[in-house]
Structure 1
Amino acid sequence: MEPKPTRVRILDAAHELMLTVGLARATTKEIARAAGCSEAALYKYFDSKEDLFVRVLAERLPRLTPLLGSLAAEPGQGTLEGNLTEIAREAARFYEQSFPIAASLYAETQLKQRHFEALRTLGSGPHRPIQDLDAYLRAEQAIGRVRAGADTFAAASLLLGACAQRAFAYDATDAGERPPVDDFAARLARTLLGGISAAPDSA
């Protein structure tokens, strides 16, 4: 069996460390050590820890951003309910897997601020899915499948906010279990459609 390429080993190590110790404590030095390479080698593939984090999100977690981009580029494909259900499903999985990675940032305000500034420079950050879903809903609005007066930004925030909440809020319940993702996504999509669809038969 051939050894994995260095870039793949770095991504694997970064993903594992970010999950186990959190983004704040997963240093590039520790990531390089876990990947079996030098820190200098890591920087041949990734410009910064933030760049590495973005690549972990893009290549190791559910593909939320590409899904939103492809739907916004071709509005009118499939049904609105089916598309929103798929978005909610991918978003719920994305937040479930990314929350343990990024949660440690929120304990250190200055570090979080520096990290978010770097992500914005890279064109990424936690605000992007909301913007991308808003863009998709506006594209559907332009062709008449979303009601003309609907607040697409609020709708995007509601759907993705619910998916983000699912990542941690339900751990505190007596059962300590998250709602099953498929049922959760379908219910979110149906409920959101009640407020934004242009007509009952347009979904």
Structure 2
Amino acid sequence: MQTTLDRPKADDALDSAKRRQIIDGARSVFLAQGFDAASMGEIARAAAVSKGTLYVYFENKEELFGALVRQQCALTAERLFELDAENHDVREVLRRLGLSFIEAMTEASHISTVRMVIGSAERRPEIGQLFLDAGPRSGIRRLSVWLEAKVAQGELAIEDVEVAAAQFLSMCHALVMMPVLIGGERPPGAERIAYLVGRTVDLFLAGYGPNALASKQV
């Protein structure tokens, strides 16, 4: 028999499921039509809910798009930036992160989301700011925490971990993201990506790694 204490949990689960249903429907409409052309009525139909139900969960299209962006960015961040500060193989941690980061940045759904944000940013800069906060800036913050731990452990020599985190992530995708995003090119093959990440890690450690640490202590 269901008790009173059980019901809030069940309600929360149903509420979360309904939100996911709406966000999934919105994603399909936004990807097909873009942010500006999409309407709440079309999103309600795609999500198989009434407009009344849709407005219970989201006040307007901007709020719904924001929830979609935050959800996608959060899932990506959780997958990429679970970095173990007790893993002392710094090179390997950075290598794995670089490979995963490029894979995530060149996923079709991510590319489509970035294109939508860019297309809307001039008229709605708040959309661009939301994406920056939930995506790139969040990734930099998460990587900064790990880099700071490595500095404290004496394994890296970094004066500004936020700048270093941004440098690493930017170097990883610099030769990959723009051709895919703007030029419509296919992502490079695994061998090329591994080479680019390897060179990025080499350069990063040359500037911030054990050898750099030793030279700064002389």
Q: TM-score, normalised by structure 1?
A: 0.70
Match of 1:189 among 201, 204, 214: 201
Aligned-residue sequence identity (percent) comes to 22
In structure 1, how many angstroms separate the alpha carbons of the residues matched to 2:37 and 2:173? 22
Change (3 A) 1:51 1:8: closer
Q: What's 1:54 paired with?
A: 70
Q: What letter matches 1:64 in structure 2?
A: A
In structure 1, how many angstroms separate the alpha carbons of the residues matched to 2:37 and 2:120? 11
Q: What's 1:64 paired with?
A: 77
The answer to whether the aligner puts 1:131 opposite 2:122 as a matched pair is no
- Alpha-carbon offset, residue 138 of structure 1: 1.5
Q: What letter matches 1:56 in structure 2?
A: Q
User: Is the contact between residue 121 and residue 128 of structure 2 (CA under 8 Å) also seen in structure 1?
Assistant: no
Q: What letter matches 1:55 in structure 2?
A: Q
Give the secondary structure class of the aligned counterpart of 2:134.
Answer: coil
**Farther off after superposition, 107-116 or 96-105:** 107-116
Q: Which has the larger radius of gyration?
A: 2
In structure 2, how many angstroms separate the alpha carbons of the residues matched to 1:101 and 1:176? 16
- Alpha-carbon offset, residue 141 of structure 1: 0.9
Q: Could you say which structure has the higher helix fraction? A: 2
Q: What's 2:48 paired with?
A: 36
Change (3 A) 1:108 1:187: same
Change (3 A) 1:113 1:142: same
User: Is the contact between residue 24 and residue 104 of structure 1 (CA under 8 Å) also seen in structure 2?
Assistant: no
Which structure's relative contact order is higher, taking Cα pairs within 8 Å and 6+ residues apart?
1
Superposition RMSD in Å = 3.3
Q: Please list the CA deviations of residues 26-83 of structure 1 after superposition, one character each: whole Å capped at 9, or x if unmatched.
A: 4444322212112333355557221232123334xxx334542x32xx4131511121
Q: What's 1:169 paired with?
A: 179
Change (3 A) 1:112 1:125: farther
Q: What letter matches 1:79 in structure 2?
A: D
- What pairs with 1:75-86 in structure 2 (closer than 5 Å)? 75-86=85-96
In structure 1, how many angstroms separate the alpha carbons of the residues matched to 2:208 and 2:143? 13
Could you tell me which runs of 5 or more consecutive residues in structure 1 were left unpaired when the two chains were aligned. none
Q: How many residues align?
A: 186
Change (3 A) 1:83 1:113: same
